[in-house]
Amino acid sequence: MADRALADVRVVDISQGIAGPYATKLLADAGASVTKVEPPGGDYSRRLGPFPGDVPDPEQSGMFLHLNTGKRSITLDVSVPSGHVVLKKLLAKADVFVAGERASTLASWGLSYDDLEGEFPELIVAQVSPFGATGPYADYDGNSLTAMAMSTIMYNTGEPDREPLTTGGAPGEYLAGVHLWLGILAALENRAKRGGGDHVDVAMTEAAAAADEYNTAMYGFQGAVRRRYYSRHIFGYPQDIVPCADGYVVMIPGAGGFPTPLTKDTLSPMALLLEQPELNEHPLFLSAGERMLQWREFDELIRPYMSTHTAAEIVMTAQALRMPFAFVPNAADLLSDEHLEQREFFVRVKHAKAGEYAHAGAPFKMSETPLAVGPAPERGAANADVLGKELGYSDDDLRILSDQGVI
Amino acid sequence: MTQHELPLEGIRVVDLTHVFAGPTCTRILADLGADVIRFESPNRMDVTRNLIITDNDGLDHPWHRASYFVIRNANKREMVLDLAKPEGIAIVKKLIEGADVLAESFTPRVMENFGLGYEQVKQIKPDIIMISLSGYGQFGPMRDFGAYGMGLEPASGISSITGYAGGPPMRSGLSFTDPYSGFMGAGAILTALAYRRRTGKGQYIDLSEQEAAIPIMGRALFEYQMNQRLPDRAGNRSPWAAPQGCYRCAGDDRWVAISCVNDAEFERLAGAMGHAEWVTDERYATVLARHEHHDELDAAISEWTSQRDHYDVMHTLQAAGVKAAAVLDGKEALLDPQFAARKQFDVIEQPLLGKRPLHKHVAARFRRFETAPRRPAPLFGEHNDEVLREVGYSDEEIATLKESGVVADAPNVPVPGQFLSMALKLPYDRYVEAGILQAVEPDYREQLGIAGDGAK
């Protein structure tokens, strides 16, 4: 078996849902030991589904299985004093403590960085919250949608006369998870060199706003405010999803697709693709600015070809003409995609209760320490191991904690 | 306790990336303290040096003035080298000898043609960490596909679940997977650095932008495997919340996002809007009923929000304990009090451009150190001499390299600067008229509090 990059990192994670668990999944897949501390009722992602046959089952929730690979689970109510005591014993052996609560909630549990710093000076306290642990909105609540709203991304996604749209798939949560993971790794690097724990404070809003491409730049450097215009870039048209005979493709002529002042005497790739050489002289082929404003007319020029060719024909022909067109797959297409299969992207993982599913595999391939996706844990499966063997609680102690509803 | 040093102080990054994803990755490393030296070619400058030229003017040297470039390349140094010449490659190799990380974002095969494939680079620096950021990865049938960011969000599947109910798949209003994979790439390098610290071993990282974003498809991937169903495009709605949506507010194109994930939150929403009776209304009393009657509920919520300012709605609902946020445009984000309190925008002094706001790339805030940029973005080839001297080239050798065109400080641009500098190809008022831009405000620097000297 290959080496694990983070084999020496121990994480205690009380976060639930998507952002925090995605961060610790990335650590666990790289070999960190992640102890997931679930409330006695379980991480709420055990209730998000999807479920086989739509029958809720906390051990078969797709989101839970997806986000908690390679972790072990214990149950513990960290909001009550006896649970707090147990958690502190776990923190004494941990490098990183991950929480997904607002500052006021964490402080009410005595688990903020300020509460823990004195006792655990080497502990990295990583916290992801909707708006961040400080500032006037620190107590505000939110989720992926509110993060995307604040990020400026949503304002520019969608049609001009309709409401702004979020990107699909809870992207604000994943962005926050990725930035929490990045922050933890940076704090670990810092601690290795200079010693000392840290507070890693990630706001979901700021994680999404970090992805801004040029909305704030257009104002900060030009005084221009960009509107929502069919999710289109301001740089030119088309760079868009366009219907074709059997679905959709992304039509991206790229830097060389249309005639330029330097290339206007040869037939452009777009004219070749559309099989209409006369278009090379068309005003909308020659002026990027006019093409953007008169896009409806341009769409008429491409319709005859697009409506009679398949996505595969269009994309392969365009790529051969050195234009970076792309496919628009859905989940089923991805799961059967030949390119992804040859790259062994999807990984089949067997779970004792849920059975076997293809999981999205490593988001990047490391030559020496490839990420490995293990099964997600059953709720509280590691209670005996962690609380009994590692922390030394006796069977009687565990029974009492269980009777009190703490574990 | 605040320290002066940053986590990656002493780490040197040779940065052969360009455009968006790669420079985002290396900007994060720079913000964490690494010495990032980026490279451009005199024959092929980074195309983002042509995007969103400050004040949209056509002044000389537009390539020093592009905000798109400045934002992702602050905190880095830069050399301009002709990599088609063996002397150019020799300089890169010299720098790799003293580097910890090599990052590149060419299409596969280009690095090997330069003699800079991982196996070759490993001969120069055995413990190097090398990352290749590409559209579809370094192997597989689509590896040679040309790839732009706007194609890779759809390629990752995300566009299939983005869009209005009943409508076609949509892209986000940005090349979403570019920054996303840049963030992932930075984390991949930090993971590799942790391993190297413990074992002394470097490694190679193959990051496919398409793959990096596929985990966002988690729910859809499981829904399909469990129930052979593909999630519908659903606008802003979610199976996990009702009501959830984006509602029109008072003013020109102002909106607020609201989400209630359980009955308690809905009760607070109903109370805040003066509709306590909704809680017992059988159309709305349970989450299932609210999903069923979502259109009616949306109409009622819109009636309330459309009379009010979007920020007022946000503050009122948040005070009542409801998830809500104003949908911000680029200007509003720059002026938002929460972003200001947490320094989301660092103001740098950029040569020729004066004070400018840059959004943070490392979202995490730390107690021990701050990730604000320590230097502006480099001018084209600004650090040629400085870096060459550091690796032992004499002034004479440097002069020869410049004479022979191996090293340059201006691009060999075959078209006039005026043509290059027009990020938008027509006057701005035409875009305002078409509804692509909201407005152009000449006093924007005063509004942002960044007026003053420095802009030339």
Write the pLDDT tens digit of every residue in A173-208: 999 999 999 999 999 999 999 999 999 999 999 999
Record: contact A159-B164, CB cut-off 8 A = yes
Per-residue model confidence as pLDDT tens digits over A349-376: 999 999 999 999 999 999 999 999 999 9
> By three-state DSSP, how is residue A299 classified?
helix
Q: From A307, A331, A355, give the residue that closes a domain.
A: A331
Same domain, B308 and B442: no
β-strands B437-440, B12-16: how paired?
Answer: unpaired
User: Is the pLDDT score of A67 beyond 90?
Assistant: yes
In a domain, B151, yes or no: yes
Mean pLDDT of the A287-307 span: 94
Q: Is the pLDDT assigned to residue A264 strictly greater than 90?
A: no
Q: Closest Cα to residue B73, out of B140, B13, B2, B153?
A: B13
Round the average pLDDT of chain A to a whole number and report it.
96
Q: How far apart are CA A20 and CA A101, in angstroms?
A: 10
* Whether B196 and B272 share a structural domain: no
Is A222 domain-assigned?
no
- Asked, for residue B224, whether it belongs to a domain, the answer is no
Picking from B314, B335, B356, the residue at the C-terminal end of a domain is B335
d(CA B386, CA B367): 33
pTM score of the predicted model = 0.97
Distance from CA of B395 to the nearest CA of A (A): 36
As a whole number, mean pLDDT of residues A13-17 equals: 98
Are A276 and A197 in the same domain? no
Q: By mean pLDDT, which of A30-39, A226-235, B245-254 is the weakest?
A: A226-235
Q: Is B420:B311 a contact under the CB 8 Å cutoff?
A: no
Are both B193 and B270 inside the same structural domain?
no
Question: Above pLDDT 70, what percent of chain A?
Answer: 100
Contact yes or no for A242/A269 (Cβ under 8 A): no
- For residue A29, the chain B residue with the least C-alpha distance is B191
Model pLDDT for residues B358-367, shown as the tens digit of each residue: 999 999 999 9
Q: Tell me: do A317 and A372 sit in the same domain.
A: no
Do A399 and A311 fall within a single domain? no
Of A50, A143, A216, nearest to B222 by CB-CB distance is A50
pLDDT of residue B364: 98
Residue B274: count of CB within 10 angstroms of its CB:
9
Output phi, psi for B171, to 5 deg. Answer: -80, 160
Q: Which helix (H) or strand (E) holds A293?
A: helix A288-293
Q: Which of residues 416-435 of B touch A (CB under 8 A)?
A: 419, 423-426, 428, 430-431, 434-435
Scored b (16 or more CB within 10 A) or e, B379-395 reads bbbbbbbebbeeeebee
> Could you tell me if B203 lies within 8 Å of chain A, comparing CB atoms?
yes
Q: Flag whether pLDDT at A62 surpasses 70.
A: yes
CB proximity list for A225: less than 8 A, separation 6 or greater: A218, A219, B329, B330, B331, B437, B438, B439, B440, B441
In a domain? residue A40 = yes
What are the contacts of A357-360 at 24+ separation with CB within 8 A?
A357/A62, A357/A65, A357/B222, A357/B225, A357/B226, A358/B221, A358/B225, A359/A65, A359/A66, A359/A69, A359/B221, A360/A66, A360/B214, A360/B215, A360/B217, A360/B218, A360/B221
- Do B309 and B348 lie in one domain? The reply is no
For residue B210, what is the nearest residue in chain A, using CA coordinates? A363
Does any domain span residue A72? Answer: yes
Same domain, A61 and A188: yes
Residues 6+ apart with CB under 8 A from A403: none
In a domain, B315, yes or no: yes
Residue of A nearest to B230 (CA): A331
CB contact B377 to A (< 8 Å): no
Residue B263: which CATH number? 3.30.1540.10
Residue written as tokens 């709305």?
B284
Contact: A190, B369; criterion CB under 8 Å: yes
Domain end, chosen from A281, A307, A331, is at A331
Residues B79 and B177 in one domain: yes
The verdict on residue A26 lying in a domain is yes
Angle among Cα B94, B95, B97 to the nearest 5 degrees reads 70
User: Is A162 inside a domain boundary?
Assistant: yes
- How confident is the model over B75-90, as pLDDT tens digits? 999 999 999 999 999 9
Residue B227 lies in a domain: no
**Distance of residue A271 Cα from the nearest chain B Cα, in angstroms:** 18
Residue from A117, A204, A213, A249 to probe the interface with B (highest B Cβ count within 10 Å):
A213
Structural domain of B300: 244-335
Both B354 and B390 in one domain: the answer is yes
pLDDT band at B421 (very low <50, low <70, confident <90, very high): very low
Asked whether the beta carbons of A25 and A11 are under 8 A apart, the reply is no
* A86 belongs to a structural domain: yes
- Total tally of structural domains belonging to chain B: 2
Task: Answer yes or no: do A27 and A166 share one domain.
Answer: yes
Cα gap B18→A153, rounded to integer Å: 22
Name the average pLDDT for chain B: 94
pLDDT of residue B418: 47
Q: In this predicted model, what pLDDT tens digit does every residue of A330-347 receive, in sequence order?
A: 999 999 999 999 999 999
- Which chain A residue has its CA at the smallest distance from B134's CA? A364
Looking at the domain assignment, is residue B425 inside a domain? yes
B438's tokens: 């909201």
Per the CB < 8 A criterion, the answer to whether A47 and A58 are in contact is yes
Under 8 Å CB-to-CB from A52, ≥6 apart: which residues? Answer: A60, B226, B227
Percentage of chain B with pLDDT > 90?
86
**Count of domains forming chain A:** 2
Taking CB atoms and an 8 Å cutoff, what residues of chain B touch A30? 191
Residue of A nearest to B153 (CA): A328
pLDDT in tens, B318-359: 999 999 999 999 999 999 999 999 999 999 999 999 999 999
In chain B, residues with a C-beta closer than 8 Å to the C-beta of A135 are: 337-338, 341-342
| Residues A347 and A361: beta-carbon distance below 8 Å | yes
Helix, coil or strand: residue A28:
helix
C-alpha–C-alpha distance, residues B8 and A197, integer Å:
16
B185 lies in the same domain as B40: yes
Q: Which residues contact A37 (CB under 8 A, 6 or more apart)?
A: A12, A13, A14, A74, A75, A76, A78, A87, A90
- Residue at which a domain ends, from B335, B351, B377: B335
Mean pLDDT of B258-285: 97
Residue with the larger pLDDT of the pair B43 and A318: A318
Q: Give yes or no: residues B295 and B419 share one domain.
A: no
Cα distances (Å, whole numbers) of residue A49 to A52, A55, A61, A334, A382: 9, 9, 4, 20, 23
Q: Is B199 on the interface with A (CB under 8 A)?
A: yes
Tell me: do A100 and A189 sit in the same domain.
yes
Cβ of A212 and B227 within 8 Å?
no
Task: Work out the minimum CA distance from A298 to partner chain B, whole angstroms.
Answer: 16
Amino acid at B29: L
| pLDDT at position B415 | 57
Does the pLDDT at position B416 exceed 60? Answer: no
- Asked if B362 has any chain A CB less than 8 Å from its own CB, the reply is yes
Question: What is the band of B53 on the pLDDT scale with cuts at 50, 70, 90?
Answer: confident
Same domain, B18 and B153: yes
**Do both A62 and A137 map to the same domain?**
yes
Interface of B with A in 106-165 (CB under 8 A): 118, 131, 135-137, 139-142, 145-148, 150-155, 157-164
Domain assignment of residue A385, yes or no: yes
B390 inside domain: yes
On whether both B187 and B306 belong to a single domain, the answer is no
Does residue A348 share a domain with residue A327?
Answer: no
Q: Beta strand pairing status for A224-226 and A240-244?
A: unpaired
B191 touches chain A (CB under 8 A): yes
A62 with A124, same domain? yes
Q: Does residue A184 share a domain with residue A40?
A: yes
pLDDT tens column, B111-148: 999 999 999 999 999 999 999 999 999 999 999 999 99
Q: Could you tell me if B159 and B85 lie in one domain? A: yes
**Domain stop point among B303, B335, B367:** B335
Q: How does DSSP classify residue A167? A: P
Domain check: are B141 and B46 in the same one? yes
CB distance A206–B342 less than 8 Å? yes
Contact of B114 with B83, CB cutoff 8 Å: yes
Last-in-domain residue among A281, A303, A331: A331
Instruction: Say whether both A72 and A192 belong to one domain.
Output: yes
Q: Which residues contact B44 (CB under 8 A, 6 or more apart)?
A: none
**Cα–chain-centroid distance for residue A405?**
33
Distance (Å) from the alpha carbon of B386 to chain A's nearest alpha carbon: 28
Across the interface, do A224 and B440 touch by the CB < 8 Å criterion? yes
User: What is the CATH classification number for the domain harbouring A77?
Assistant: 3.40.50.10540
Q: Which domain holds residue A131?
A: 10-211+344-403
The CATH number of the domain holding residue B168 is 3.40.50.10540
Active site residues of B: 178
**pLDDT above 90 (res A284):** yes
Query: Phi and psi of A372, rounded to 5°?
Result: -130, 135
> Same structural domain for residues A37 and A146?
yes
State whether residue B29 sits within 8 Å of chain A by CB. Answer: no
| Contact between A321 and A272 (Cβ < 8 Å) | yes
| CB of A184 closer than 8 Å to CB of A98 | yes
A287 vs A214: which has the higher pLDDT: A214
- The answer to whether residue A228 is domain-embedded is no
